[in-house]
Every structure is written in structure tokens, then in C-alpha cells.
Structure 1
Amino acid sequence: MNQLFNLDGKVAVITGGTSGIGAAAAERMAKAGATVVIAGRKNAIEFAERIGGIFVKTDVSDENSVRNLMAVANDLCGKIDIVVNCAGVNRGYNTLLESEKEDFDFNFNVNTMGVVYGIKHATQYMSQGGSIVNVASAAGVQGVPYLAPYVSSKWAVLGITKTAALELGEQNIRVNAICPTSVDTPMARAEGGEPQLRMEHKAVPLGRIAEPEEVAAIIHFLAAPDCAFVNGQTIGVDGGFTAGMSINAYNSLAAE
């Protein structure tokens, strides 16, 4: 790979690294020279071996599981330079007034506390500084009807990101977040299938949803030493979705 954004000698821990955005980030970083530690609930030993990485079974909603992940990564690799908090879920499609506490708990335990645990237990092994990238969502910068548990859990990630950036900056640890819109991942297809994806295509000004590799490219960008002065930022990877209503959506409304 080009010397720009080279990760030779770096150790990257990626939660949610067994599929979708996380897997794309793992593969890209491995190609850039990093030793990649992939964490997830489902077995991904073969994938990890194929890219020259390591798999550690992890449940990010369990603090002890994340603590173990970071300790194993440090024991096997001697340090941690990069953390990508990518594990995420979306449960509870309902109005806010009809939402259940269990759905808020489920989303927050993974989407929010998983990020907190990742930051908390990785930093002790980042004595040389490094980069933490939190995968939030375009839903974390605006409201989305019927998704209050998910939306609020992703808004919280942005607050955690900025707070961590302020607190860890003196240790030369940068903390940033990305906010992708809909991405063509197994999770997205399981949630809404083709009809939902077609609808989301119309909502994005570029006329399509993102590929995992396109989001992984921004994660790589933020993780690399080339971006050593980027800290506490939120970067949209949304095809213009949060800029406003797409022409397709506008024309559809105008035609009614």
C-alpha cells in the first residue's frame, strides 16, 4: 500500500470486526501493515488468519469481556496503538411513547457502554499514544422516527468521544467519531431487506447507500499517524444525507 497512511508496526483492536464495517476496516488496516486484533461474538478465526490477524471472542456489553480483550491484545502484541469501537446493534422499532426500557438498555449496553469499555480498558496499553475511532451514526446527529433507543445511544457516543478527546489528549491519544448513514452490511439487510435499502437510496443525495469499504477508508484515515492533529471530531460518511433533503426525496414529495 502507498506510504501515505502506512500502519507498519501498529497494533489495531477492532470490535465488531467480524462483519460489515468492522471487517472491512480490519482487512484494510492489515493491508496497510497493522497487526489486527478482531473482536466479536461470532467466531471469525478463519477470517483473522486470512488477513494475518488475531481473533478474540468478545461481548462488548460485558465490561470484563472487553477488559480481557485489551489484556490479550497487549499480551500477544506488546501494545495497542489503535482502537476501533465498531460493534453495534439496533433494536426497538417503535414510537418513543411506545418504546420499552429493555430496548433502550439493549442499545445502550452495546452501542454506548461498549464504547466506554473500549476506551477505558485500552488506554492503559497505549503508552505511546495512538488513535481511537468510535463508529457512531448519522442518526447520532439528528432525530429518526421510530428509532429512539438506537438514536439516543448513538448521540451518546458523540458526547463520549468529545469528552475522551479532552481527557486523553495529554497522553497523545486522539479520539474521533464517524457517522455513517445506511451501509450495505448484513445487519442492514437483516433489518429491512431490499425494500428498506431502496427507500434509503432515495434519501441520500448521492443516490445510493455506502459500501463497508468506503466507511473503512475514513476509519483508516483517522487511525493513521498522518492525522496526528485531528482530535475530538465527528466526521460524516453519509453521501450528503445530513446536509438536507435529497433531490430524489424532494421530487417524490413534490409529485404527490
Structure 2
Amino acid sequence: MTRATLEKEPHEVAAMFDDVAAKYDLTNDVLSLGQARLWRRAVARAVDARPGQRVLDLAAGTGTSSLPFAAAGAYVVPCDFSLGMLREGRRRHPRLPLTAGDATRLPFADGVFDAVTISFGLRNVQETDAALREMRRVTRPGGRLVICEFSHPTWAPFRTVYTEYLMRALPPLAERVSSSPDAYVYLAESIRAWPDQPALAARLAAAGWTRPAWRNLTGGIVALHRAHAPS
């Protein structure tokens, strides 16, 4: 894979994540300068999983993002379309019910989850709007959606510095810590092509979610979008 666009072939993206599965969590911690753990904690607070609730964690990768929900007493289903990620996740977390699935055609019945969340995965889905509608389908009326995704820094000077980091510093650094540096070239370019915060909120509303809102993390490098399924 050379250059990234938002027209993604699912098998290419899945193969890319298969290649980086073994070192994925470590690489993310290094390349985010330690911020990835803070972002995961923010997601856990926003989802606010409770004992007995059902939580769908999409693009869960190795299952690391699902652990806080399980620790809160919820029944969490980590779901990903990369079999390599799922195999690594089963090795690390054999008790989690890791499930293979495509975000645009989820293998779950209507309205079965109290909350659906996806972190740093919506950007990699070929049909974003179809995925947002599918997430709504499997969420119970009044249930919640939490999306954590790279976004657009809100302060213009910082946005310039951040873009320089993405395109110049991140790929060479990825060569040192990642098993597949090309995947992080894709990462940098796909972040630049992704909609900004208001645009994603508008897409949530168009997909049928109510009360879409967002909170910027790390100056807007990441945005936490929240919405609810119609009651």
C-alpha cells in the first residue's frame, strides 16, 4: 500500500493490520508520545460501562481497548476484521469473546447493545456512513455511541506543527518501532484526509444518531464524538 485515500479496499486494510498486530499496542504508545493510554481512559469514561450492560467494542484489535469495560462488569464483545489482530488478542486475552466482523455488516441482532464504541477504526472503514447506520441498528433505543478518532487540531499554529510531525517524523520513527512502517505512512495520510469535528458530527446525525457532540483531546489531535440511538 503506497498512498492513502478514503477509498479503502477492505482486504488491503485488513492485511495491513495483520502485519502490525504483534507490536501494534507498543507502537501506538511510542508514536503517540504516551497519549494513547490517556485517550483510552477518556473513552472508558465516556462509555461509562456498568455491570450487566452489553458493550460492542469495534476495531478492538488485540482487545486492549476492551479491558476497561470488562473490568467495570460489562459484557464486552471485542470485534475486528483483522484476523491477525484477533489471533494476537486471543493469545493475550483468552477470556475475551473476540469476534471477527465487518463494521458495515455486523453479525449481531438489532438493538442488543447498550453502548457501541470504536477507537481509531472508523477512518479505516470503506463505507463510513453505512458503518454508522449499522452501529445504530445494533444499539438499543436510547443507547449510546462513542467514537474516538484522530481529528483536526483547533489551534492553527499547532495544526501546522502536527501536520509536519505526521508527514515527516512519524514514518521514520515507525521504521524503528513497527514491523510494518508502510502501515504508518497510510496512517499519517488517512488522518489528513479525515473530516473535521463538525463534519463527523453531521454524518452522525445523517446516519440517524441523535444529540451528536464532541470533545477535543490533546488540542484536537483526537476528538471524542458521542451520540445516542433514537428512543
TM-score (norm 1): 0.44
Between Structure 1 and Structure 2, the one with more strand by share is 2
Determine which structure has more spread, i.e. the larger CA radius of gyration.
1
Which structure has more RCO (C-alpha within 8 Å, separation ≥ 6)? 2
TM-score (norm 2): 0.48
